[in-house]
Chain A
Amino acid sequence: GENVEQHPSTLSVQEGDSAVIKCTYSDSASNYFPWYKQELGKRPQLIIDIRSNVGEKKDQRIAVTLNKTAKHFSLHITETQPEDSAVYFCAATQGGLTGGGNKLTFGTGTQLKVEL
């Protein structure tokens, strides 16, 4: 099955700096990679996702890059703000009508702290 590794486990940045979180996956059949933000005691919220036919996607201060050959994808947050502080999870799955029921395999999470 799929195995997703995520680094770093904790990340502390100064407000205004950029933050980068990296994930690698093992199953070359995976083709959908969402990123979730989870605040303490709350639900994971989808912040951005990317499909395997795209190398990069950007949404305001958030961007995701995907390298299919190397089987890794990264989350980039620019101009970080205190409200970006949370745990971020990457995930991978085979999308579409088939593919294991689209089960998401999550990374281990990154605790991001944005300091003033």
Chain B
Amino acid sequence: GAVVSQHPSRVICKSGTSVKIECRSLDFQATTMFWYRQFPKQSLMLMATSNEGSKATYEQGVEKDKFLINHASLTLSTLTVTSAHPEDSSFYICSARTGLAGGQETQYFGPGTRLLVL
């Protein structure tokens, strides 16, 4: 299957700082990437849909000014958690959708970034 990387894998930061997470599709071009958040023993909750060259579409309840998403190229999307607080501590996972016919819907996930805000 397609390969998606994510960096960093783990980050610890102080409350009030900003953290940037990168998501890359390594062997395919992804016009659409998705950002999820997963709390312990819970399901994946979609935060936003990232579209290359346009603004991200945020899910209800997700603050777009707090979770900045930039999808500058067909292989890279970034999520910046601004002014992070302890309640933002979570496992953040991106996914990328292959854009070819017949596999349009298939999403491949990055390895995730574990964020701990002290």
With A101-B49, A102-B32, A108-B43 known to touch, is A42 a contact of B111 (CB < 8 Å)?
Answer: yes
* Alpha-carbon distance between A109 and B44 when the two chains are bound, in angstroms: 9
* Alpha-carbon distance between A36 and B93 when the two chains are bound, in angstroms: 14
With A101-B57, A102-B32, A103-B49 known to touch, is A96 a contact of B105 (CB < 8 Å)?
Answer: yes
What is the interface residue range for chain B against chain A? 20 to 34
A104 within 8 A of B: yes
B109 within 8 A of A: yes
* Alpha-carbon distance between A97 and B97 when the two chains are bound, in angstroms: 12
What is the interface residue range for chain A against chain B? 20 to 34
Q: Tell me if A34 and B107 are in contact (CB < 8 A).
A: yes
Contact with A along B104-117 (1 / 0, CB 8 A): 11111111101000
8 Å CB interface, A1-57 against B: 32, 34, 36, 41-46, 49
Please pick, from B34, B91, B93, B109, the residue contacting A103 in the complex, using a CB distance under 8 A: B34
Contacts of A105 in B (CB 8 A): 46
* Alpha-carbon distance between A42 and B9 when the two chains are bound, in angstroms: 10
* Alpha-carbon distance between A106 and B57 when the two chains are bound, in angstroms: 18
* Alpha-carbon distance between A69 and B42 when the two chains are bound, in angstroms: 29
> Which residue of B49, B51, B107 has the most chain A CB atoms within 10 A of its CB atom?
B107
Contacts of A97 in B (CB 8 A): 104
Measured CB to CB, the residues of B under 8 A from A are 1, 32, 34, 42-46, 49, 51, 57, 91, 93, 95, 97, 104-112, 114
Measured CB to CB, the residues of A under 8 A from B are 32, 34, 36, 41-46, 49, 89, 93, 95-97, 101-109
